[in-house]
Structure 1
Amino acid sequence: MKEFSIHTFELTDKVVLITGGASGLGEYYTQAVSKVGADVFVVANEQRGWEETRKAVEANGRRVVFMQQDITEPGAAKKIVDKALEEFGRIDVLINNAGMQRRHDLVDFPDEDWQAVINLNLNALYYLSHEVAKVMIKQNRGKIVNIGSMQSYRAGKFIYPYAASKHAVMGLTRAYADALAPYNIQVNGLAPGYINTPMTKALQDDPVRSVEIREHIPAGHWAEPRELMGAMVFLCSDASNYINGVMLPVDGGYLLR
């Protein structure tokens, strides 16, 4: 075991593969790992945010490579892993960040929205984790960080496939952690609370729900995206080497009430 120091939290020269890593919270995760020394392979369905993300990563003195790919397509996981290995030669960390949410009344919930959410939030995460795990087993090291949600723990009224997928992500995190631990691979999750992002703007603008949510958070405020960056670095770094199968809430205490 290495002597503990501040360097335990660094990712110097590590390679991080992240889905959806150029927009939303994913952009902040990409910036976070590059700030502590990682090169980043970003997979995204569209090119939104690429140039801003490139500038941020390169300002930290690190390399970033982008791949435009719908991760729900059959065979996408192998294409992604092959390209990442071609560019960097290895994968030290996988961050399964890409996700979506669809909201409808129960009776009117469309089948196509159920399928779309489950395919992206759960199936694509599973297939990419499965493909990356093969690489990490050969390396005898690695980290997989899955993005959960408050809906990994709670009911999700009107967002049924989202709640189902995020509960399933917690279960898959635990199952993979158990299976991969003998290969020096840690699998954990990060569950953001209510974060100030464009995706949550409608909820924040709701005069009733926004107040209810804020009053439910012991910290008394919605988080800014940067407040997730430290937790992500921790889960990706050697500082978390003896933590496995955990879904870490970063929620200002929301789940306490």
Structure 2
Amino acid sequence: MHPFDLHGRRAVVTGAGRGLGQAIALGLARAGADLLLLGRPGSQSGTVEQVAGLGRDVVAVDLDVSDHDAVERVAAGINRDHRVDILVNNAGIIEREDSVDVSRHSWNRVLDVNLSGLFLLCQAFGRPMTERGHGKIVNVASLLSFQGGIRVASYAASKHGVAGITKALANEWAPLGVQVNAIAPGYMATDNTTALRTDPDRARSILERIPAGRWGEGADIAGAAVFLSSPAADYVNGHVLVVDGGWMAR
């Protein structure tokens, strides 16, 4: 089998309705994977249509990742009906605010999606993977898994946590045949960075630091996701793969 071939594998991708999640889903589908897309109601119909157009089996399942009871219920149903070989935890939110003004509700909302929901999904789908002795989990981290950022304390905390969970699970599950890794996207042209890209000063300062000279796109992340989901990454464990156009090198 070609080392990047995902035919015969089924992947769960969260937050695949647009942006990076959609790009990852399409990348996995082009590599041969069938897909289960988990996201908010009505948000993923466009992705379903595109994946089906590639000839892959695809099902969209409604799920708010911040609803932890629903996460456990939905995951149990999927595990009952399907063998999940790959889990990509992409769903995430960001709230920009001065740290002195962050409310408990805002803090909890970001952590509930980006960190707690992610861990529960890892746990729910990782359990049968470890029992079978095979599986791939790819978490979407961030450059703010390494840096503090500006006016995004809850997001930075959550993404530092994603890196930590990735390494902790890899330590436990690598001996059981399950690879757990993460992708840290750089500055990407998505909804999450609209405020930065429309601020002339911030946009200019960001681009000046990126050696590649451009904002990243979904396709830049899709290849990394395929690699970490494939047999080519069977000896990659607990790694946070930075895809940033060289930002961290400066």
Measured against the shorter chain, the TM-score band is: over 0.9
Match of 1:81 among 65, 71, 75: 75
Q: Which residue matches 1:59?
A: 53
Match status 1:37 vs 2:32 = yes
Q: SS at 2:3's partner residue?
A: helix
Task: Please tell me the residue identity of whatever aligns with 1:61.
Answer: G
Match status 1:226 vs 2:212 = no
Unaligned runs of 5+ in 1: none
Match status 1:95 vs 2:95 = no
With the length of structure 1 as denominator, give the TM-score of the two structures: 0.94
CA distance in 2, matches of 1:156, 1:52: 32
How big is the shift at 1:80? 2.2
Match status 1:13 vs 2:8 = yes
How big is the shift at 1:110? 1.4
Moved >4 Å (runs of 4+):
none
Q: SS at 1:107's partner residue?
A: helix
Alignment of structure 1 residues 14-163 onto 2, 5 Å: 14-48=9-43, 50-87=44-81, 89-163=82-156
With the length of structure 2 as denominator, give the TM-score of the two structures: 0.96
How big is the shift at 1:224? 1.8
Instruction: Tell me, yes or no, if the aligned pair for 1:17 and 1:84 is still in contact at 8 Å.
Output: no
Q: SS at 1:75's partner residue?
A: helix
Number of residues of Structure 1 aligned to a counterpart in Structure 2: 250
How big is the shift at 1:72? 2.0
Deviations 1:86-124 (Å, cap 9, x if unpaired)?
44x201011111000011112211111101001110000
How big is the shift at 1:51? 2.4
Match status 1:181 vs 2:174 = yes
Q: SS at 1:144's partner residue?
A: strand
Identity among equivalent pairs (%): 38
Instruction: Tell me, yes or no, if the aligned pair for 1:22 and 1:30 is still in contact at 8 Å.
Output: no
Task: Please tell me the residue identity of whatever aligns with 1:64.
Answer: V
Unaligned runs of 5+ in 2: none
How big is the shift at 1:67? 1.0
Deviations 1:150-190 (Å, cap 9, x if unpaired)?
10011122100100010011011000001001111000000
Instruction: Tell me, yes or no, if the aligned pair for 1:196 and 1:223 is still in contact at 8 Å.
Output: yes
